[in-house]
């Protein structure tokens, strides 16, 4: 059986987060605002780093992810 490898992510495009969490884009922005996350902007695109992504993941998996 093939062994699964874990991949560490340095940065993830903001536009991929609605699909990651199965929510509307506005909900992603509300969560980012609520957490005080400052996105990384490069070449007119926004990204979150691994630590920010961990915060967003934690919020998503909590029972309080209603915003």
Q: What is the DSSP letter of 67?
A: -
Residue 2 lies in a domain: no
Tens digits of residue pLDDT in 18-51: 999 999 999 999 999 999 999 999 999 999 999 9
From 49, 48, 3, 43, select the one nearest 29 (Cα to Cα).
48
Residue 3 in domain: no
Q: Look at residue 2 in the predicted model and tell me its pLDDT.
A: 58
**Whether the predicted model's global pTM rises above the 0.85 cut:** no
What is the per-residue DSSP string for 9-52?
Answer: -SEEEGGGHHHHHTS-HHHHHHHHHHHT---EEETTEEEEEHHH
Domain that holds residue 31: 11-61
Q: How many CA atoms lie within 13 A of 24 on its CB side?
A: 5
* Tally of domains in the chain: 1
* Mean pLDDT to the nearest integer, 45-61: 95
Whether 56 maps to a domain, the answer reads yes
Q: How confident is the model at residue 64 (pLDDT cuts 50, 70, 90)?
A: low
């Amino acid at each position: 059986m093939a062994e699964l490898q874990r991949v560490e992510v340095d940065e993830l495009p903001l536009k991929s987060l609605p699909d990651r969490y199965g929510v509307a884009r506005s909900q992603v922005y509300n969560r980012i605002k609520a957490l005080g996350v400052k996105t990384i902007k490069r070449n007119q695109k926004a990204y979150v780093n691994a630590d920010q992504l961990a915060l967003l993941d934690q919020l998503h998996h909590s029972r309080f992810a209603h915003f």
